Each structure stands twice: as C-alpha cells, then as structure tokens.
C-alpha cells in the first residue's frame, strides 16, 4: 500500500451500522480492492466523514437496503451487486 489518499465517487447510503455501496461498476474496482487490502478507510458523504471497516459483498440482497427512490434507477442500470462497509470508531452505534 502506498498510503496515498484517493477519492472515488460511488453511490452509497449510510444506515445505523453500515455504509452500503451500489457496485455500479461491479466488484472488480480499484477502490473496493484498496479498501479490502487496507481493512477499511473513510467514506465521505454529504460533507461528513465515516470511518469504515473492510467491505464485504452482500449481492442482490443489498437492493432491499437501498432507499425506495433509488431502487428503480439501480434496477434500470442493472446493478446486482452491493458492498457493506461497517461503521467503526466514533460512528459505530453503542
């Protein structure tokens, strides 16, 4: 690992325990490989940083965890894979 910071736009939603990412480009993406290799990282959404642990794939079951308004769009672009990144540190619920 180089220790270099990267920024990659992704479609994500934060729930009470996880950041869920729609894998619109599939599972073979550099950001997913890097987050796995580093055992996590930071997701920034709506100006807030969320420290996360390593991602794991949740497949099509992730569709039901997406906001209702996003589901038709994700289905229209044939998204079938999702990743879940557990919130850690200060963002983790007690």
Give the pLDDT score at 3: 61
* Cα–Cα dist 39/62, whole Å: 21
**What pTM, to 2 d.p., does this model score?**
0.82
DSSP H helical ranges for the chain: 30-37, 71-76
Least confident interval from 7-11, 27-31, 44-48, 68-72: 7-11
* Cα–Cα dist 92/94, whole Å: 6
CB 32 within 8 A of CB 23: yes
pLDDT tens, 73-91?
999 999 999 999 999 986 5
DSSP class per residue in 40-59: -EEEEETTEEEEE---EE-G
Domain coordinates in residue numbering, the chain: 11-49+68-91
pLDDT tens, 27-66?
898 889 999 999 999 999 888 999 999 999 998 899 999 9
Give the pLDDT score at 2: 56
């Amino acid at each position: 690992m180089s220790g270099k910071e990267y920024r990659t736009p992704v479609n994500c939603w934060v729930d009470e325990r996880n950041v869920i990412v729609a894998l619109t480009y599939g599972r073979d993406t550099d950001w997913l490989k890097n987050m796995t290799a580093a055992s996590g990282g930071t997701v920034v959404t709506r100006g807030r940083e969320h420290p996360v642990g390593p991602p794991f794939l949740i497949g099509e079951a992730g569709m039901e965890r997406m906001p209702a308004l996003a589901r038709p769009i994700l289905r229209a672009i044939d998204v079938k894979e999702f990743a879940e990144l557990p919130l850690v540190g200060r963002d983790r619920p007690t």
